[in-house]
Structure 1
Amino acid sequence: MPLAPRGQDSMPAPYYLIGPGDTLDIFVWRNDDLHKTLRVRPDGRISVPLIDDVDAAGKTPTRLARDIEARLSGFVVDPIVTVMVVDFSGTFDQQIRVIGEAQKPQAIPYRDKMTVLDVMIAVGGLTEFASGNQAVISRMSDGKQKQYRVRLDDLIRDGDIGANVAMNPGDILIIPQRYI
């Protein structure tokens, strides 16, 4: 099933949800000793002074700040907490995973209006063994996993901008090896 080239979206972007691997800057107003920069652990938690482990993954920065405020209120009078995401990884459903014959196969954070060309730039392009025009995007649609063929060789090697298609959060780009 072909994908349409990237067009204008009419829906607003969803709120960012914190995920494992994200780096957070936690600032507690008037309490510099509680200001910390923390990486979200693989279990989705962070360790905050005075209150130990806090679930962070799957929450917006604002929701996490309110949760930390509630837990700190037993130790700090009227805490005001700000959470800023300074390095993004996102939850798995907010990433695009690239597997197969990319120079640097990896999971990358989804950005609004991202295209397959943006993804290929992030992973360093195709290997010399890639069968780019046999690549597929595996995507959940209406509760079912569907695959869409993409023409990476046409896009990257031939400059066919019509082959540049929209990517969605949670997509998996599979680049097979060509047969010799």
Structure 2
Amino acid sequence: MTSALFGNTARLGLLALFLGLVGWLSPAMAEGYQVRPGDILKLEIVEDPSLDRALLVAPDGRISLPQAGTLKVSGLSVDAIGTAIAGKLAASFATPPTVSVSLQQLAERVPGTAGTPATTDIYVLGEANKLGKLALAPRTTLLQAFAEMGGFTKFAATKRIQLRRTDPKTGAPVIYNVDYDAIEAGQGSQGSITLRDGDVIVVPQRRLFE
């Protein structure tokens, strides 16, 4: 019995040590963690759960959400982001909304290992089924990327999708308006656009009666 008790105690000690290491290895759980591009946030609003969603922090450090537009969040804590979102949404509620923001997924911090095939990294925001950074094969087209995204949510405004990229010569942002419904119907050539590293696909939410 003494041996069994000792074994159980040892296992409990190892478990406690493991949990302590997990906490130490999770900077997102530390107080004061500053959000970075590529992180995915979880937004919850008590008064209107239909606004609950995952929010990708874009390469420019911004998030985009219905009724609040875009918001610069890079470098802020999740508490500060929640306060900022509540302020943006206040005009849409009779009383100040109860907003909760947490980290759903951290951006990848470790560079690829040697020998890993080159990829085209794009970012997906809004009403798509798969958000965040997608590592695609080189020369992936826009239509192929839509397939990688797993389609759209029922709230997606598929006729007003945006492809955003930076002009390599001037550094200025360039926005292409994309009609997915037309692409699906075989109209036009937008679906054959070759994606570039750093491209951002934004799928907006449908307007009322749209």
Q: TM-score, normalised by structure 1?
A: 0.48
Bigger helix share: 2
Q: TM-score, normalised by structure 2?
A: 0.42
